A and B are shown apart, each in its own frame.
Chain A
Protein backbone atom coordinates (compact mmCIF):
# COMPACT_ATOMS: atom_id res chain seq x y z
CA UNK A 1 0.00 0.00 0.00
CA UNK A 2 1.70 3.19 -1.16
CA UNK A 3 -1.20 5.61 -0.80
CA UNK A 4 -1.59 8.92 0.92
CA UNK A 5 -5.30 9.47 1.51
CA UNK A 6 -6.80 12.92 1.88
CA UNK A 7 -10.33 13.86 2.97
CA UNK A 8 -12.46 15.60 1.98
CA UNK A 9 -11.71 15.87 -1.75
CA UNK A 10 -13.74 19.09 -1.98
CA UNK A 11 -14.64 21.61 0.70
CA UNK A 12 -16.61 24.84 0.49
CA UNK A 13 -16.59 27.07 3.55
CA UNK A 14 -17.50 30.56 4.61
CA UNK A 15 -15.02 32.95 6.13
CA UNK A 16 -16.40 32.38 9.63
CA UNK A 17 -16.44 28.59 9.48
CA UNK A 18 -14.09 26.15 11.20
CA UNK A 19 -13.19 23.06 9.22
CA UNK A 20 -10.38 20.50 9.02
CA UNK A 21 -8.51 18.67 6.30
CA UNK A 22 -7.28 15.17 7.05
CA UNK A 23 -4.41 13.10 5.70
CA UNK A 24 -3.45 9.50 6.40
CA UNK A 25 -0.55 7.28 5.32
CA UNK A 26 0.30 3.71 6.29
CA UNK A 27 3.74 3.43 4.72
CA UNK A 28 5.61 3.90 7.99
CA UNK A 29 6.88 7.28 6.84
CA UNK A 30 8.22 9.59 9.55
CA UNK A 31 7.91 12.92 7.73
CA UNK A 32 4.63 14.48 6.63
CA UNK A 33 3.98 17.71 4.76
CA UNK A 34 1.26 20.20 3.87
CA UNK A 35 1.52 22.06 0.56
CA UNK A 36 -0.75 24.71 -0.95
CA UNK A 37 -1.16 24.84 -4.73
CA UNK A 38 -2.85 27.59 -6.72
CA UNK A 39 -3.95 26.95 -10.29
CA UNK A 40 -1.09 26.67 -12.81
CA UNK A 41 1.49 27.12 -10.03
CA UNK A 42 3.89 24.75 -8.24
CA UNK A 43 3.09 23.50 -4.75
CA UNK A 44 4.20 25.82 -1.94
CA UNK A 45 5.42 24.27 1.27
CA UNK A 46 3.41 25.20 4.36
CA UNK A 47 4.40 22.81 7.17
CA UNK A 48 6.68 19.83 7.77
CA UNK A 49 6.36 17.31 10.58
CA UNK A 50 9.26 15.02 11.34
CA UNK A 51 8.72 12.24 13.88
CA UNK A 52 5.43 13.87 14.86
CA UNK A 53 7.07 17.17 15.73
CA UNK A 54 6.62 20.36 13.76
CA UNK A 55 9.98 21.07 12.18
CA UNK A 56 9.14 23.67 9.51
CA UNK A 57 6.50 26.40 9.43
CA UNK A 58 6.93 28.51 6.31
CA UNK A 59 5.52 31.65 7.96
CA UNK A 60 1.98 30.44 7.41
CA UNK A 61 -0.83 32.65 8.86
CA UNK A 62 -2.25 31.41 12.15
CA UNK A 63 -5.66 30.81 10.56
CA UNK A 64 -4.02 27.55 9.39
CA UNK A 65 -3.21 25.24 12.29
CA UNK A 66 -1.51 21.87 11.68
CA UNK A 67 -1.73 18.87 13.96
CA UNK A 68 0.00 15.48 13.89
CA UNK A 69 -1.89 13.18 16.32
CA UNK A 70 0.31 10.19 15.46
CA UNK A 71 2.83 9.06 12.86
CA UNK A 72 0.11 8.09 10.36
CA UNK A 73 -2.18 11.11 10.60
CA UNK A 74 -1.86 14.76 9.73
CA UNK A 75 -4.59 17.37 10.07
CA UNK A 76 -4.89 20.96 8.93
CA UNK A 77 -7.38 23.01 10.94
CA UNK A 78 -8.91 25.98 9.15
CA UNK A 79 -10.50 29.01 10.79
CA UNK A 80 -11.47 32.48 9.57
CA UNK A 81 -10.05 31.90 6.10
CA UNK A 82 -10.01 34.44 3.30
CA UNK A 83 -11.17 33.94 -0.31
CA UNK A 84 -7.53 34.07 -1.42
CA UNK A 85 -6.92 30.89 0.61
CA UNK A 86 -8.95 28.97 -1.98
CA UNK A 87 -6.55 26.40 -3.46
CA UNK A 88 -5.66 22.73 -3.71
CA UNK A 89 -4.13 21.55 -0.43
CA UNK A 90 -1.77 18.63 -0.87
CA UNK A 91 -0.53 16.29 1.82
CA UNK A 92 2.69 14.35 1.28
CA UNK A 93 4.89 11.95 3.19
CA UNK A 94 8.45 10.65 2.98
CA UNK A 95 10.48 8.06 4.83
CA UNK A 96 12.73 10.73 6.31
CA UNK A 97 12.88 14.52 6.01
CA UNK A 98 16.29 14.40 4.33
CA UNK A 99 14.73 12.61 1.33
CA UNK A 100 17.93 10.55 0.99
CA UNK A 101 15.88 7.40 0.64
CA UNK A 102 13.64 8.67 -2.10
CA UNK A 103 10.78 10.89 -2.83
CA UNK A 104 7.67 12.52 -1.52
CA UNK A 105 4.43 10.59 -1.90
CA UNK A 106 1.51 12.91 -2.52
CA UNK A 107 -2.18 12.55 -1.89
CA UNK A 108 -4.72 13.67 -4.49
CA UNK A 109 -5.43 16.83 -2.58
CA UNK A 110 -8.36 18.64 -1.00
CA UNK A 111 -9.78 21.41 -3.14
CA UNK A 112 -10.84 24.24 -0.87
CA UNK A 113 -13.16 27.08 -1.85
CA UNK A 114 -13.64 29.95 0.59
CA UNK A 115 -16.72 32.10 -0.06
Chain B
Protein backbone atom coordinates (compact mmCIF):
# COMPACT_ATOMS: atom_id res chain seq x y z
CA UNK B 1 0.00 0.00 0.00
CA UNK B 2 1.12 3.52 -0.76
CA UNK B 3 1.63 5.88 2.19
CA UNK B 4 3.33 9.06 3.33
CA UNK B 5 4.70 9.46 6.85
CA UNK B 6 5.72 12.72 8.42
CA UNK B 7 7.67 11.65 11.44
CA UNK B 8 7.09 14.72 13.60
CA UNK B 9 3.65 16.19 14.26
CA UNK B 10 5.08 19.28 15.95
CA UNK B 11 8.49 20.93 15.67
CA UNK B 12 9.23 23.88 17.98
CA UNK B 13 12.38 25.83 17.11
CA UNK B 14 13.93 29.18 17.97
CA UNK B 15 14.26 31.95 15.40
CA UNK B 16 17.44 31.76 13.25
CA UNK B 17 17.98 28.08 14.14
CA UNK B 18 18.13 25.41 11.42
CA UNK B 19 15.21 23.04 10.96
CA UNK B 20 14.54 19.71 9.27
CA UNK B 21 11.03 18.33 8.71
CA UNK B 22 11.08 14.64 7.90
CA UNK B 23 9.03 12.78 5.29
CA UNK B 24 9.16 9.14 4.24
CA UNK B 25 7.00 7.44 1.67
CA UNK B 26 6.13 3.97 0.51
CA UNK B 27 5.19 3.26 -3.11
CA UNK B 28 5.41 0.44 -5.65
CA UNK B 29 5.18 2.86 -8.60
CA UNK B 30 7.08 5.95 -9.73
CA UNK B 31 6.41 9.11 -7.75
CA UNK B 32 6.61 12.85 -7.86
CA UNK B 33 7.25 14.59 -4.52
CA UNK B 34 6.04 17.88 -3.11
CA UNK B 35 6.14 20.02 0.02
CA UNK B 36 3.25 22.38 0.67
CA UNK B 37 2.86 25.03 3.38
CA UNK B 38 -0.41 26.17 4.92
CA UNK B 39 -0.51 29.39 6.90
CA UNK B 40 -3.41 29.87 9.34
CA UNK B 41 -6.80 30.28 7.65
CA UNK B 42 -5.33 29.92 4.19
CA UNK B 43 -5.09 27.35 1.42
CA UNK B 44 -1.99 25.34 0.59
CA UNK B 45 0.97 26.88 -1.22
CA UNK B 46 3.70 24.91 -2.98
CA UNK B 47 7.16 25.21 -1.40
CA UNK B 48 9.05 22.93 -3.74
CA UNK B 49 8.73 19.85 -5.93
CA UNK B 50 10.77 16.95 -7.25
CA UNK B 51 9.74 15.58 -10.63
CA UNK B 52 13.09 14.31 -11.98
CA UNK B 53 16.75 15.29 -12.30
CA UNK B 54 18.85 16.66 -9.44
CA UNK B 55 17.87 15.16 -6.11
CA UNK B 56 18.51 18.44 -4.27
CA UNK B 57 15.60 20.75 -4.84
CA UNK B 58 15.44 24.42 -3.87
CA UNK B 59 12.13 26.11 -3.22
CA UNK B 60 10.68 29.40 -2.09
CA UNK B 61 11.44 31.19 1.19
CA UNK B 62 14.89 29.58 1.50
CA UNK B 63 13.65 26.00 1.85
CA UNK B 64 15.29 23.00 0.19
CA UNK B 65 14.69 19.25 0.15
CA UNK B 66 16.64 16.19 -0.89
CA UNK B 67 15.11 13.16 -2.58
CA UNK B 68 16.72 9.94 -1.36
CA UNK B 69 15.39 7.03 -3.40
CA UNK B 70 17.15 4.29 -1.42
CA UNK B 71 15.72 5.58 1.87
CA UNK B 72 12.42 6.67 0.24
CA UNK B 73 12.70 10.04 1.96
CA UNK B 74 12.16 13.67 1.03
CA UNK B 75 13.17 15.74 4.06
CA UNK B 76 12.65 19.51 4.09
CA UNK B 77 15.36 21.81 5.46
CA UNK B 78 15.99 25.47 6.11
CA UNK B 79 19.30 26.74 7.55
CA UNK B 80 17.78 29.67 9.47
CA UNK B 81 14.06 30.02 10.21
CA UNK B 82 12.02 33.17 10.77
CA UNK B 83 8.94 33.82 12.86
CA UNK B 84 6.99 34.06 9.61
CA UNK B 85 7.79 30.39 8.84
CA UNK B 86 5.35 29.33 11.56
CA UNK B 87 2.80 27.21 9.70
CA UNK B 88 1.64 23.66 8.92
CA UNK B 89 3.83 21.80 6.43
CA UNK B 90 2.55 18.90 4.34
CA UNK B 91 4.65 16.42 2.42
CA UNK B 92 2.79 15.00 -0.58
CA UNK B 93 3.50 12.19 -2.98
CA UNK B 94 1.93 11.74 -6.38
CA UNK B 95 1.72 8.09 -7.38
CA UNK B 96 1.89 7.81 -11.15
CA UNK B 97 -0.64 5.40 -12.62
CA UNK B 98 -1.62 4.82 -16.24
CA UNK B 99 -4.87 6.68 -15.63
CA UNK B 100 -3.16 9.66 -14.07
CA UNK B 101 -1.72 10.79 -10.77
CA UNK B 102 -3.17 10.69 -7.28
CA UNK B 103 -1.76 13.01 -4.64
CA UNK B 104 -1.39 11.57 -1.15
CA UNK B 105 -0.66 13.91 1.77
CA UNK B 106 1.19 13.18 4.96
CA UNK B 107 -0.42 14.06 8.27
CA UNK B 108 1.39 17.38 8.49
CA UNK B 109 4.06 18.92 10.70
CA UNK B 110 3.30 22.04 12.69
CA UNK B 111 6.39 24.25 12.70
CA UNK B 112 6.38 26.74 15.54
CA UNK B 113 9.17 29.36 15.47
CA UNK B 114 9.75 31.16 18.74
CA UNK B 115 11.66 34.42 19.28
Which residues of A approach B to under 8 Å, CB–CB?
Answer: 4, 6, 40-43, 45, 50, 55-56, 90, 92, 96-100, 102-109, 111
Residues of A within 8 A of B107 (CB): 41-42
- For chain B, what secondary structure do more than half of its interface residues adopt (helix, strand, loop), or is it mixed? strand
Q: Which of B11-19, B42-50, B67-75 contacts A (4 or more CB under 8 A)?
A: B42-50
- A-B Cβ contacts below 8 A, count: 58
Are A99 and B42 touching (Cβ within 8 A)?
no
Residues of A within 8 A of B90 (CB): 42-43
Number of interface residues of B (CB under 8 A): 25
Residues of A within 8 A of B102 (CB): 45, 56
Which residues of B approach A to under 8 Å, CB–CB?
Answer: 32, 34, 36, 41-46, 49, 51, 88, 90, 94, 96, 99-103, 105-108, 110
Residues of A within 8 A of B32 (CB): 99-100
Report the Cα distance A4→B100, complex, angstroms: 22
Are B42 and A102 touching (Cβ within 8 A)?
no
Report the Cα distance A111→B94, complex, angstroms: 26
Are B44 and A100 touching (Cβ within 8 A)?
no
